[in-house]
Amino acid sequence: MASRVLRHYDHDGTRILRVTFRDDDNQPMRVVKTSEALMRSTLRERMIKGIVVAGRHFGYLGNSNSQMRDGGAYFMEKYSRRSFLEYINEHKKAPDVTWQPKIVSVRRDLGDESYTFSDGVGMISKAFAKQIAEDMMLKDCLPSCFQFRFRGLKGVMAVNPMLDEIALWASENGIRHKPDMFDCCSWLVKMVFRRSQIK
């Protein structure tokens, strides 16, 4: 779980459940095909009264927008509401983590008069990916790609060690500028976005 709040309260992995509500056919529950009475007894009751699993009572904690669309939520073993709210308020005072890569770039989509190849992923240097992994406390794990939202851009970035090699080569050879294929004047690019990732 990525949330700092969830990691704080579920340090041993036994105190929080990720619950997804499904119909008998394992499809998301929708009012158009599930009766309102069943929806009420299944969803509303669980959200208000919680869930008992292995003799332990779990109460509704919250959900993200994507979880809500998928009919899912987090349930947490019953806790002192006061201590939880105190932690949330303390968390709100903490400054947001901001990524300030020194240089980013946007790559042009490939194509000719007939087609434009606009789908795909951006690139992130291996060194910058390691920095992100360290900040996320992933220990020795280096992901091969990241899903991101950054300054009006969103999508997937794949780790590309070639960006590190290009920066090293340019540095060793005293090259400071790159050709016009990128909209940036330095070889020290940490992330390369695709134009299709601008939202």
CB-based contacts of 108: which residues, under 8 Å, 6+ apart?
181, 195
Contact status, residue 110 vs residue 117, Cβ threshold 8 Å:
yes
CA separation for the pair 118, 109 (Å, rounded): 5
- DSSP assignment of 30-76: -TTTS-HHHHIIIIIHHHHH-EEETTEEEEEEE--HHHHHHTEEEEE
3-class state of residue 172 by DSSP? helix
Q: How far apart are CA 123 and CA 61, in angstroms?
A: 36
Residue predicted with more confidence, 110 or 54: 54
Lowest mean pLDDT among 5-19, 33-47, 140-154, 178-192: 178-192
pLDDT greater than 70 at residue 182: no
pLDDT of residue 181: 42
Reported as a pLDDT band with limits 50, 70 and 90, residue 106 is: low
Report the percent of the chain where pLDDT is more than 90. 1
Name the residue ranges covered by the structural domains of the chain: 4-93, 104-197
Q: What is the mean pLDDT of the chain?
A: 73
The tokens describing 161, both together, are 């060690």
Tally of CB atoms within 10 A around 26? 7
Poorest-pLDDT segment among 67-71, 87-91, 104-108, 195-199: 104-108
Mean pLDDT of 175-192: 55
pLDDT-based confidence at 44, cuts 50/70/90?
Answer: confident
Whether 185 shows a pLDDT value over 60: the answer reads no
pLDDT of residue 1: 45
**What is the crossing angle of helices 161-172 and 126-135, to 10°?**
120
- Higher per-residue pLDDT: 34 or 79: 34
